[in-house]
Amino acid sequence: MIKRVTAGVVTVALAALGFALPVNAAVRTVSEASCGTASAFCVGLVTDTGKVDDKSFNQSAWEGAKAAAATAGGFSKYIETIDPKDYASNIDLFAAKKYNVIVTVGFLMADATAAAAVKYPTIKFIGVDQFNGSTAGNYSGLIFPEDKAGFLAGYLAGYLTKTKKVGAVLGTDVVPPVKRYGEGFKNGIAYAAKEQNKKIKTTIVYHAPDNAFNDPAWGATTAGQLLGQGYDVIFGAGGKTGNGALGKVAKKKGALCIGVDTDQWLTVPEAQPCLVTSAMKLLANGVSSLVAQAKAGSMKGGNFMGAIGIAPFHALSKVVPAAVAKKVKALTAKVLSGTVKTGVKA
Amino acid sequence: MSQLKSKRNYLLIAVAAVFAYFYHKDGAVTTSVVSTAISFGLPLALAAMVGIMCERTGIVNIGIEGTMLISAFAAFFVASTVKSIIIGLIAAIVVGMLAGFLLALMAVSWRMDQIIAGTIINILATGLTSFLFKQGHTLPSAMPEIDIPVLQNIPFFGPVLFMHGPITYFGLIFIVFLWVALFHTVWGLRTRAVGEHPGSADTAGVSVLRLRYLNVTLAGAVGGIAGAFLSLELVGSFERGFTAGKGFTALALMIFGRWNPLGALAAAMFFGIAQAVTNQLMIDQVVNIPQQFVNMLPYVMTILVLAFAAGKVRPPAAEGQPYEKEQA
């Protein structure tokens, strides 16, 4: 009898521990209780099923939101969505506490965000990676021309490959920004191949839509498969799945990898042996400027186009010939200004 | 029985013929596909061994996922903190054994429902690893790949079997070792007896509870190694939710392999091949079929094989039932 009781108590305690621990830490500059009062400025961020410390996409968005809230002397907090069914209820949690701005991160949350913008007309919504087709004045989609970043990265890869085989290990093509990265990358390689009068084989492998951004083991093995077939430059893009690919390439001598979204030289140190650059979208800047606009009352509905770029070469500048670096720089200006088109439909 | 055996031989010959054909067509690609299949399949195979060791002795372990997750976590963070891969590996084994011991405590001594006991381990592992996770850690060095001299030069078999990391070699050898132990040693006989009819085993002088404790705890160590394979050897980092359901897939492979270590290994390799071929279809773009369709191939193939090839399977008879002397 005593044994049974002990078992029960321990079980409940263990289960409670398991459930109670993963509570996110909020940044408490001002308290959440003050949200909704005239002087307070509260920013809530809801991630897609990715994590806020994914070292790329969600992390940058959160950093932008946090910084903008801090600048405004406000309060910021995030919720990580575990199950896509909870998009709306996670948004509702912030709305119920009268947050001023709610940032939703990820293409897949577009519908939930558009619906919430109608439901809560006094709250400003910022949808990262969401093309906003609605007319709501309090919902602004933050989108990026990922194809341009992919194009530049592909162009560099086209000049760096020695085996004339370049691969990409990506999250799912169901998410348009990922596909834009991939298509841009492919066209960038073709552009470089044409300039050099070479044939370069380009391969893009996408993860299945389910769990697409949280499968580093798949990323690593798939990158290994490409390496085994002589591919020597690999673009890893898709949250932790992409990071897995970068880590695998880093172990192969002489192979190069390209990161995504942020400068992953800084965020994925294990990739440093191979990481020559990252195809970046300046997420943090985009989010923080939109939050600042919301604070100032100048945020408009519709869509807001963020900036892109490619990251510095860091230690791997030694593998990039000066002439190539110069070409990339020249092309960057042309792509950004639009004189060179990526050939990818938005 | 002999008919079954000849059926199996035909199957093996057919598989070999298929590989030979593809190798003849494109050696480099076939080699990398099979080698990739081993990387995909190994963690699944090791996880299936955890299930086999537990279930053969009558304990259902659905906590494999959690065991792997928390060991992968321990391996990575200990290795990066003390700057030693070896100590990280030891930490994973210890943590895995603790998880196994906890399961044994709940399932054997406290006679709890074993499904709930396993679930507790999964929830505990998810919670603890998510909470304690800190970013910015890196391994002191990547797990080295050991290319075995001479053997690695054999065409096809060299790159496929003899150019891997140390845990892969250990895993493959261990699975064969477990098969021998389970069917050709006293320990194996006793384990199977306890899993089929613990009352009789007890009468014959086997300590049911002690053997169950031993096996479940040792199985935890194997789960620890599977976790360490993921974080130390395959990926070289840790992420939350890292195991991505491998512990559950392994349970299906265990059943598919009829609770036999070699069977489960074959099942895991089949799954690995399916995954690698899926990737290869995308790499080659040989056929223009939608991505999503290609992506579901490994699962569809597994379901088909489970439905048609696996036939009737029978789990160990005493599985899931706590053993109490008085009621036997």
Which residues of chain A are within 8 Å of residue B268 when distances are taken between CB atoms? none
Domain boundaries, chain A: 25-144+285-305, 146-281+313-337
pLDDT in tens, B24-82: 777 788 888 899 999 999 999 999 999 999 999 999 999 999 999 999 999 999 999 99
Residue A7 is nearest to which of B29, B106, B133, comparing CB atoms? B106
CB atoms A217 and B128 under 8 Å? no
Where is average pLDDT lowest: A15-24, A162-171, A291-300, B266-275? A15-24
Provide the chain B residues 3-32 that lie in CB contact (below 8 A) with chain A.
28-29, 31-32
Helix, strand, or coil (residue B83): coil
pLDDT for the residue A29: 47
pLDDT for the residue B311: 66
Percent of chain A surpassing pLDDT 70? 91
- Give the CA radius of gyration of chain B: 20
Q: pLDDT below 50 — which residues of chain B?
A: 1, 328
pLDDT for the residue A57: 85
Q: How confident is the model at residue A30 (pLDDT cuts 50, 70, 90)?
A: low
pLDDT for the residue A344: 87
Provide the chain B residues 32-51 that lie in CB contact (below 8 A) with chain A.
32-33, 35-36, 39-40, 43
Percent of chain A surpassing pLDDT 90? 68
The whole-angstrom distance between A295's CA and the closest CA on chain B is 31
Where is average pLDDT lowest: A157-171, A208-222, B63-77? A208-222
Q: How confident is the model at residue A8 (pLDDT cuts 50, 70, 90)?
A: low
CB atoms B282 and A269 under 8 Å? no
CB atoms A251 and B127 under 8 Å? no
Domain boundaries, chain B: 29-143+151-321
pLDDT for the residue A240: 87
Helix, strand, or coil (residue B163): strand
From CA A315, how far away is CA A305, in angstroms rounded? Answer: 31
Pairwise pLDDT comparison (A316 vs A48), residue with the higher score: A316
CB atoms A230 and B28 under 8 Å? yes
Assign domain B29-143+151-321 to its CATH architecture: Orthogonal Bundle (1.10)
Residue B40 is nearest to which of A53, A221, A244, comparing CB atoms? A221
Which residues of chain B are within 8 Å of residue A221 when distances are taken between CB atoms? 36, 39-40, 234, 275-276
CB atoms B236 and A270 under 8 Å? yes
B152 and A CB contact within 8 Å:
no
The whole-angstrom distance between A23's CA and the closest CA on chain B is 8
Mean pLDDT of A18-46: 69
Question: For domain A25-144+285-305, which CATH number applies: 3.40.50.2000, 3.90.550.10, 3.40.50.2300, 1.10.10.10?
Answer: 3.40.50.2300
Question: For domain A146-281+313-337, which CATH number applies: 3.40.50.2300, 3.30.1490.150, 1.10.150.120, 2.60.120.10?
Answer: 3.40.50.2300
Q: Matching CATH topology for A25-144+285-305 and A146-281+313-337?
A: yes
Write out the two tokens for B15.
């598989």
Report which DSSP code applies to B145: P
Mean pLDDT of A96-102: 94
pTM for the predicted model, two decimal places: 0.81
B131 and A CB contact within 8 Å:
yes
pLDDT for the residue A34: 84
B286 and A CB contact within 8 Å:
no
Which residues of chain B are within 8 Å of residue A205 when distances are taken between CB atoms? 279, 282-283
The whole-angstrom distance between B325's CA and the closest CA on chain A is 16
Provide the chain B residues 81-110 that lie in CB contact (below 8 A) with chain A.
106, 109-110
One-letter amino acid identity for A117?
Answer: A
pLDDT in tens, A237-294: 998 899 999 999 998 889 999 999 989 998 888 899 999 999 999 999 999 999 999 9
pLDDT for the residue A32: 82
